[in-house]
Amino acid sequence: MPSGLLDDRLYRQLDHCLVDTHFDDLGERYRGKVRDTYRTADGRLILVTTDRISAFDHILSHPIPFKGQVLNQLAAHFFNKTRDIVPNHVLSVPDPNVTVALACESIPVEFVVRGYLAGHAWRVYHDGGRELCGVPLPDGLRQNSSLPAPILTPATKAAEGHDEDISRDEIIKRGLLDADLFDRIADFAQRLFVRGTELAAERGLILVDTKYEFGLDHEGEVVLIDEVHTPDSSRYFYAEGYEQRLERNEPQRQLSKEFVREWLMDQGFQGKDGQSMPHLPDDFRVLAAKRYIELFETVTGKAFEPDSHLEPETRIREALSAVA
């Protein structure tokens, strides 16, 4: 789609974003940072990916046009590309914003895999930290430099506020997971990261870091849930020019949500007590939408075709009625 036409479409959609859903007849709603999740009586989850955007574990003041459609369809793409490594919860994708999934018992730990020193890991390192989640980090690393090998840096899932870095030993000590289950899931996470790295390289990208979430199905088997390799859960650099930028200590050209975090930090907001969340200007919201669309098209090699329905809830209800 030509840039001018896309801009017009994005600006028109600013007032028609999917912010909240109200499908009370589906079941009880859980409102997450980005998704509204409904648990049906027959053991399914209806996952509605909204246009809400979060950073520093806070939902920001304004939504991003078509962001939910990008995330939901990109997650579906990667769930399909990784199902040979570990089963996932997807049953169907009846609408651009919706995934119908198997209800699972959620594992209370996020499995974050990092191949490069960026984002949160860099901030810890820059402040003098030489260990992350029990994993030692060598001296002499630079921002965005590759790590000697990908590392697993788990985090606890916080219902509110910031997720907490946690080590394997502490996870087992707290009884969050036993050693066998942790190690099985850690192996899945590492293999998923290898696959994600290969798929990114095919598209001229570097998968810098990502998080995976898992659950247990009714038979106790591990299942990949939530999302996978999306810009909300992952960070990508462009491979072209990476080494030159690293040598010059220049920021990497990236496709991720990090630019949103950087903009917020420039406005004096990092989600800390006493800080006021800034207003997101329309131009920034459109820029963010274009970044999400760019990532979708770059990663998948497919053109993104947004559904510009002015009442997305109506469209979703119609789609769900066909799979009820």
Tokens of 282: 């329309």
- Which domains can be identified in the chain, with CATH numbers? 3-103+259-321 (3.30.200.20), 106-247 (3.30.470.20)
pLDDT mean over 4-11: 85
pLDDT at 63 over 90: yes
Whole-number pLDDT of residue 4: 64
Whole-number pLDDT of residue 43: 86
Tens digits of residue pLDDT in 69-84: 999 999 999 999 999 9
Give the range among 91-105, 154-168, 238-252 with minimum mean pLDDT.
154-168
Tokens of 97: 């914003």
pLDDT mean over 192-219: 97
Supply the pTM of this predicted model: 0.88
pLDDT at 202 over 70: yes
φ/ψ of residue 8, rounded to 5: -60, -45
φ/ψ of residue 65, rounded to 5: -55, 130
The CB-based long-range contact list for 194-202 (8 Å cut-off, 24+ gap) reads 195/81, 195/82, 195/85, 196/78, 196/82, 196/228, 196/229, 196/234, 197/115, 199/78, 199/81, 199/229, 199/299, 200/236, 200/299, 201/239
Tokens of 178: 């036993």
Write out 10-28 in H/E/C secondary structure.
HHHHHHHCCCCCCCHHHCE
Whole-number pLDDT of residue 6: 84
pLDDT at 268 over 80: yes
The whole-angstrom separation of Cα 321 and Cα 121 is: 44
pLDDT mean over 143-150: 97
pLDDT mean over 164-186: 97
pLDDT mean over 46-60: 94
Tens digits of residue pLDDT in 178-197: 999 999 999 999 999 999 99
Cite the DSSP H helix spans in the chain: 3-13, 67-82, 119-126, 168-174, 179-202, 242-247, 258-266, 282-300, 312-321
The whole-angstrom separation of Cα 51 and Cα 61 is: 11
**Residue 148, number of CB atoms within 10 A of its CB:** 8
pLDDT at 31 over 80: yes
For residue 203, what pLDDT band results from cuts at 50, 70 and 90?
very high
Report whether 167 contacts 153 (CB < 8 A).
no
Q: Residue 117 carries which DSSP code?
A: S
Please enumerate in sequence order all residues whose Cβ is within 8 A of that of 209, keeping only pairs 6 or more positions apart, or say none.
112, 113, 114, 115, 116, 118, 119, 121, 234, 235
3-state secondary structure of 155: strand
Please enumerate in sequence order all residues whose Cβ is within 8 A of that of 30, keeping only pairs 6 or more positions apart, or say none.
36, 37, 38, 39
Find the helix packing angle between 179-202 and 67-82, rounded to 10°.
Answer: 110
Tens digits of residue pLDDT in 229-256: 988 899 999 999 999 999 999 999 988 7
Give the range among 152-166, 252-266, 283-297 with minimum mean pLDDT.
152-166
